A and B are shown apart, each in its own frame.
Chain A
Amino acid sequence: MIRTRKVPGAVALTTVLALSAACSGSTADTSDEAVDLRMTVWTADTAQLELFDTIADAYLADHPEVAEITFESLPFADYNTTLTTQIAGGNAPDLAWMGDLSRDLIASDALVGLTDTFEETPGWEYDDLLGSATAEYSRDGTLYAYPFSNSPYALYVNTDLLAAAGQEIDPATLTWDQVAAAGSAVHAETGKAGFVVRDFDYTAWNTLATVWTGWGASAWSEDGRTCTFDSPEMREAFTFLHDAVFTSEAMPGPGTTADFFAGDAAFTVAQVSRASLLTGGFDFALHPLPAGPAGDYSVLGQAGMGVLSSSEHPEQAADFLAYLTNPENAAQLARYFPPPRTSLLTGEQLAANNEVLDASQLQAAVVDQLPNAVTLPNHTSPAEIAQRGKTALDAMWRPDADIPAVLRSVCTAIDPILAR
């Protein structure tokens, strides 16, 4: 009988305890004096995270109103999804790195305007920012994110592979046709790949802007409301790419991996910041992007840091961001990320903290390219445009593809999204 009486009580107690444990989350910060700040980032590089921690520690020492600053590293591949889920779930960070999500965040008023904070911070030097760097993160004259990384795309060359195939190039007059010819020769001679557009992998088609811009093409009109994939310039650019894949075989086809930094390709188009992947396994050269039929051009990949309006402490977060990006700390960040400040943009300055590239390479590939660089295609609803465009473009990567028809189908797929 005793056992019979105790069992219901024991089960009830267990249930209550289990539910209590399941329902108890982290306790909210109830302190009125000091607040905690959290910034989501996509880097997992310990050296970069240590630098952020060092800057944060220095800030905390002078700002007792902030108790703790945490840098939360999220996997790059799922960064947008994770950040969006955090925001939608009411667990938004105070500050966040952002890539192609920036347009959606700005359009939704999900970011705090930073211009006033930066201008009012003594010694911040707002006018030092490069106009081409801030354009992507501005609306109606207000800056919504600090463009901390401005990394132009450049052409990396494996000179060992070129030599093995008996190929020579002149960087001063280099064109895409010459790159394709040399790449084709390398592939025929060595079996290695000719040229690859890094991260494209027949999925991330926006990275092909590093090629089609050379033909004067663009994904959509300047106001972002009309698809221009079916333009004559884009047809020419994709004819070049299609030939490179299926005729000259200068470019590896879909489903074939070739990592330039592992020595598998003669050329790659990649951001200058990827130079850290070079391990010394082969001799290399770095040049600005080759000229296309439309002449010289440069393309930029950007990342920004902003304060979310859903933050419980937007003022403290904006103040910390102003500190993190002031001229002194921007110079430290420039060790890893090409800065948007003209005062820091010289080959010598960038080379001071770069162990792989020298001053002349950085001057030619970064400093000289930034003022006139265009950014990779960016728009609101980036994931939906990317997926619809990719689905339509898949038909391009067949030997018998009808190039104009495929490009028209891309416009059919993305025009309704652009027009919203």
Chain B
Amino acid sequence: MTRTRAAERTTQQATGQVTGLATAQAATGTGRASGPVFWTTRRRDVLTGYLFVLPQLVGVALFVLLPVGMAIWYSLNERNVFTGEQTFVGGDNYAALANDPQLPEVLLATVLFCGGVVVANVTLGLLIAVLLNRRFRGVTVFRTLFFSPVVVSVVAWTLVWGFLLQDNGGINGLLDTVGIDGPNWLQQGDTAMLSVIFTQVVRGVGVNMVLFLAALQSVPRELYEAARIDGANSRTVFARITLPMISPTVLLAVIVTVAGALQSFAQIAVLTGGGPELSTTVLVYYVFQQAFEFNDIGYGSTLALMLLSFVMLLTLLQWQLRRKWVFYED
């Protein structure tokens, strides 16, 4: 009610200003004496609003909508990058998706990578946030420690991990000191996938940690006090109060992490180059290979559109499912 009354007052004031202006203009002879005033305050505000968002709209049109439109056009054509010659091939590139012997392995690697990154990143982020959501000496140092990889260049981060994960690298050297013969991390399919997931999660977990920390600190204290009075133990408090109260943040973290994982390129390119075999060739890396290494712009665009559809579908799915498990106060 308060907000409604305030809005009414604002509208009345604005109307009064316009009426007053028209009257003043009529009295002084500086404006048109009759007819409606076109540039009302409301119209000016609307125009101002549109002008403020115009740069963003232009940006989206130029760098999102136009490239998507061009990708659709390219996917319907065969293009010789050396001569610029283009031939319309209709749905050939879409039919090629079904006949690509490498695509099933690429999609499997994509699912494993995204699944691993999302589960590990969200779980670890929440765990660290819960552990650091207390007051103890050095808590700021720990928070900084977990967040610091986020600000490191992804290529530099991955290059260093590439050295550490070599067969004769630092990780195996460390394991060797305690009598463990470490695997050849980046040269075996299963450990290579684990390695790229690990480096991605360690670098990105700080973002989710900060999101969860902020969410945890916004949970009303009185809810915990009431639960304690009712005799709830820590596990019940977390499951019945903490988790539901921060579920909107969990949803946000999952959406952002899924989108980020589907776009992970530099980690794969630097660490494994998609190998061994196709074990770490995720879809976005495969798009790059087809379009920019094999110069098959048409098929690369088709794959890129498939990736775009996946991202949109997953986001839509998560958004629809939020009603099932996300708790909103109102």
Cα separation A293 to B60 with both chains bound (whole Å): 63
Choose from A1, A8, A255 the contact partner of B186 (Cβ within 8 Å).
A255
Whether B184 lies near A84 (C-beta < 8 A) is: no
Indicate if B51 sits at the interface (CB-CB under 8 A).
yes
Chain B residues within 8 Å of A344, by CB:
none
Shortest beta-carbon distance from B289 to chain A in Å = 6
Whether B48 lies near A8 (C-beta < 8 A) is: yes
Indicate if B310 sits at the interface (CB-CB under 8 A).
no
Residue of B nearest to A92 (CB): B82
Chain B positions 72 through 95: 1 when the CB is less than 8 Å from some CB of chain A, otherwise 0: 000000011111100000000000
Whether A108 lies near B83 (C-beta < 8 A) is: yes
Whether A253 lies near B184 (C-beta < 8 A) is: yes
Chain B residues within 8 Å of A381, by CB:
294
Given contacts A81-B292, A84-B82, A384-B294, contact A5 B44 (CB under 8 A): yes
Chain A interface residue count, Cβ-Cβ cutoff 8 angstroms: 41
Indicate if A160 sits at the interface (CB-CB under 8 A).
no
Shortest beta-carbon distance from A13 to chain B in Å = 10
Whether A257 lies near B289 (C-beta < 8 A) is: no
Whether A387 lies near B48 (C-beta < 8 A) is: no
Whether B277 lies near A4 (C-beta < 8 A) is: no
Whether A84 lies near B41 (C-beta < 8 A) is: no
Whether B82 lies near A108 (C-beta < 8 A) is: yes
Indicate if B222 sits at the interface (CB-CB under 8 A).
no
Indicate if B149 sits at the interface (CB-CB under 8 A).
no
Shortest beta-carbon distance from A367 to chain B in Å = 35
Q: Which of B161-201 contact A (CB under 8 A)?
A: 166-169, 184-187
Whether A391 lies near B186 (C-beta < 8 A) is: no
Chain B positions 32 through 60: 1 when the CB is less than 8 Å from some CB of chain A, otherwise 0: 00000000010010011001101100100
Whether B82 lies near A87 (C-beta < 8 A) is: yes
Indicate if A15 sits at the interface (CB-CB under 8 A).
yes
Given contacts A7-B48, A15-B58, A255-B184, contact A383 B167 (CB under 8 A): no
Chain B residues within 8 Å of A4, by CB:
41, 44, 48
Q: Which of B90-141 contact A (CB under 8 A)?
A: 102
Cα separation A383 to B292 with both chains bound (whole Å): 10
Whether B184 lies near A110 (C-beta < 8 A) is: no
Whether A254 lies near B184 (C-beta < 8 A) is: yes
Shortest beta-carbon distance from A383 to chain B in Å = 4
Chain B residues within 8 Å of A255, by CB:
166-169, 184-187
Cα separation A387 to B288 with both chains bound (whole Å): 13
Whether A391 lies near B275 (C-beta < 8 A) is: yes
Whether A253 lies near B277 (C-beta < 8 A) is: no
Chain A positions 1 through 27: 1 when the CB is less than 8 Å from some CB of chain B, otherwise 0: 100110110011011001100000000
Chain A residues within 8 Å of B295, by CB:
84, 88, 104, 383
Whether B292 lies near A254 (C-beta < 8 A) is: no
Whether A15 lies near B55 (C-beta < 8 A) is: yes
Interface range on chain B (Cβ under 8 Å from partner): 35 or more
Given contacts A88-B297, A383-B293, contact A257 B168 (CB under 8 A): yes
Whether B82 lies near A11 (C-beta < 8 A) is: no
Whether B293 lies near A11 (C-beta < 8 A) is: no
Shortest beta-carbon distance from B258 to chain A in Å = 27
Q: Which label, helix, strand, loop or mixed, suits the secondary structure of the A interface?
A: helix
Whether A84 lies near B81 (C-beta < 8 A) is: yes
Shortest beta-carbon distance from A113 to chain B in Å = 15
Whether B84 lies near A18 (C-beta < 8 A) is: no
Indicate if B276 sits at the interface (CB-CB under 8 A).
yes
Indicate if A72 sits at the interface (CB-CB under 8 A).
no
Shortest beta-carbon distance from A58 to chain B in Å = 32
Cα separation A14 to B53 with both chains bound (whole Å): 12
Indicate if B278 sits at the interface (CB-CB under 8 A).
yes
Indicate if B273 sits at the interface (CB-CB under 8 A).
yes
Shortest beta-carbon distance from A316 to chain B in Å = 21
Chain A residues within 8 Å of B277, by CB:
391-392, 394-395
Shortest beta-carbon distance from A76 to chain B in Å = 15
Chain A positions 115 through 132: 1 when the CB is less than 8 Å from some CB of chain B, otherwise 0: 000000000000000000
Given contacts A88-B84, A108-B82, A202-B187, contact A12 B51 (CB under 8 A): yes
Further 15 A-B residue pairs, CB within 8 A, beyond A11-B51, A87-B81, A387-B293: A4-B48, A7-B51, A8-B48, A87-B82, A88-B81, A203-B275, A254-B167, A255-B186, A257-B166, A381-B294, A383-B294, A383-B295, A391-B275, A394-B276, A397-B187
Q: Give residues in B with beta carbon < 8 Å to A.
A: 21, 41, 44, 47-48, 51-52, 54-55, 58, 79-84, 102, 166-169, 184-187, 273, 275-278, 289, 292-295, 297
List 7 A-B pairs, minimum CB-CB distance, nearest first: A255-B167, A11-B51, A108-B82, A88-B81, A110-B82, A394-B276, A383-B293
15 residue pairs bridging A and B, Cβ less than 8 Å apart: A4-B44, A14-B55, A18-B55, A87-B82, A108-B80, A254-B167, A255-B186, A256-B167, A257-B168, A384-B294, A387-B293, A390-B275, A391-B278, A394-B276, A397-B276
